[in-house]
Amino acid sequence: MWIRTWLGTYTNCTDELKWVDKLKVLGVYFGNDATNANWNKRTVALKKITNLWLQRDLTVKGRVIITDVLGLSKFYYTAKVLIPPASIITKIRKILINFFGMGKAHLVSQEVCLLPYKQGGLGLTDFDTTLNALY
């Protein structure tokens, strides 16, 4: 099996090889349209999860736990292999801030959301900082 972007670079290959547009290795897609396959599907899933949990009356600490366990954990493995585009990081941050604002007007700034509890923040995990720690 060969990724189609390598087509033509190896001229001595036989015709029995199967050429594909994208290849999934250990849950991560490589090849054409890998960004959509890796990141967009996960952000849509994050949006669905947060919308389901918005229907519940959760405490702030409960929202932080849901964000860490059910939200951001889905991105860490893929982020170890591929660097997410800036647009995806922005999209993830918007989804999480809207989850903390309960879909209404935000009463707390994003910077305060990211501060630890001891400093008066909400204790939300900063995805950017976590990504920097992975690389």
- Residue 93's pLDDT is 86
On whether the CB atoms of residues 22 and 37 are closer than 8 A, the answer is yes
- Residues 43-73: tens digit of each pLDDT: 999 999 888 888 888 887 888 888 888 888 8
C-alpha to C-alpha distance for 13 and 85, rounded to whole angstroms: 34
- Residue 10's pLDDT is 56
On whether the CB atoms of residues 71 and 45 are closer than 8 A, the answer is no
pLDDT-above-90 percentage for the chain: 6
Asked if pLDDT for residue 102 goes beyond 70, the answer is no
Determine the 3-state secondary structure of 25 from DSSP. Answer: strand
Cα-based angle 70, 97, 44 (whole degrees, multiple of 5): 50
| 104 — pLDDT class (breaks 50, 70, 90) | low
CA 24 to chain CA centroid, Å, is 17
Burial of 108 (0-12, 13-18, 19+ CB in 10 A): middle
| 91 — pLDDT class (breaks 50, 70, 90) | very high
- Residue 120's pLDDT is 81
Domain boundary assignment for the chain: 1-32, 33-134
Mean pLDDT of 21-30: 86
Mean pLDDT of 108-128: 80
C-alpha to C-alpha distance for 52 and 5, rounded to whole angstroms: 40
Helix (H) and strand (E) counts for the chain? 7, 4
Dihedral sign, CA of 34, 35, 36, 42?
A: positive
Q: What is the mean pLDDT of the chain?
A: 81
- Residue 48's pLDDT is 92
